[in-house]
Amino acid sequence: MDRAFTTYSATNNTKPESDAAGATAENTHISRTIELTATSSHQFIGKGGPSRGGGGRGSNIRAFYDPMTIQQIFPGIWNKPGGAIIAVADNFFNLLGPGQQVTTELAGRWLNTYISQIKSLDPNYQFQDSGLATTFEGQIYQLNFLRMKRAETYLRIKGDPRPLQVETLRFMQERADRAYNQGMRLLQAGKLPRQLSSQEALGNYVDREVREALRERYNVLGINWNGKGPVRVNSREYDNSGTDRTYRIPDVRIYDLVIDTSLTAKGPATPQVKGFFATDFRPTLVIILRPSQLGRGHTYAIPRMENKR
Integer angstrom CA distances of residue 209 from 23, 166, 222: 23, 19, 20
* pLDDT tens readout for residues 236-272: 999 999 899 999 999 999 999 999 999 999 999 999 9
* pLDDT tens readout for residues 20-59: 444 455 555 555 554 444 433 333 223 355 655 544 433 3
Write out the H or E segment, with its range, that includes residue 176: helix 162-188
| Residue 6, pLDDT score | 40
User: What is the Cα–Cα distance from 267 to 30, expressed in whole angstroms?
Assistant: 6
User: What is the Cα–Cα distance from 248 to 275, expressed in whole angstroms?
Assistant: 7
The residues, any chain, with a CB within 8 Å of residue 202's CB and separated by 6 or more, are: 180, 183, 184, 187, 192, 263
Closest to 106 (Cα-Cα) out of 149, 136, 79:
136
Between the CA atoms of 212, 216, 221 and 226, what dihedral angle is there, to the nearest 10 degrees?
60
10-residue mean pLDDT profile of the chain (309 residues): values are 43 38 51 45 39 44 71 88 88 56 81 96 92 89 95 97 97 96 97 92 97 98 93 96 94 97 95 96 96 94 75
Q: Is 204 exposed, middle or buried (0-12, 13-18, 19+ CB in 10 A)?
A: middle
Q: Chain-centre distance of CA 34, in angstroms? A: 17
Q: Please give the order of strands across the beta sheet that includes 300-303.
A: 86-87, 300-303, 285-289, 257-261, 252-254, 231-233
Cβ contact 254:230 at 8 Å: yes
Integer angstrom CA distances of residue 124 from 37, 67, 143, 218: 43, 25, 20, 20
Cβ contact 290:265 at 8 Å: yes
Integer angstrom CA distances of residue 14 from 44, 208, 246, 271, 292: 46, 23, 12, 15, 34
3-state helix, strand, coil in the chain (%, to 5): 45, 10, 45
User: What is the Cα–Cα distance from 25 to 271, expressed in whole angstroms?
Assistant: 12
Long-range contacts (CB closer than 8 Å, 24 or more residues apart) made by 110-117: 110/53, 110/64, 110/143, 111/139, 111/142, 111/143, 111/146, 113/53, 113/54, 114/53, 114/143, 114/146, 114/147, 114/149, 114/150, 115/146, 116/53, 117/51, 117/52, 117/53, 117/150
| Residue 219, pLDDT score | 98
Distance between first and last Cα of the chain:
26
Cβ contact 265:286 at 8 Å: no
- Collapsing DSSP to helix, strand or coil, 301 comes out as strand
Cβ contact 26:62 at 8 Å: no
Q: One-letter amino acid identity for 275?
A: G
DSSP state of 99: G
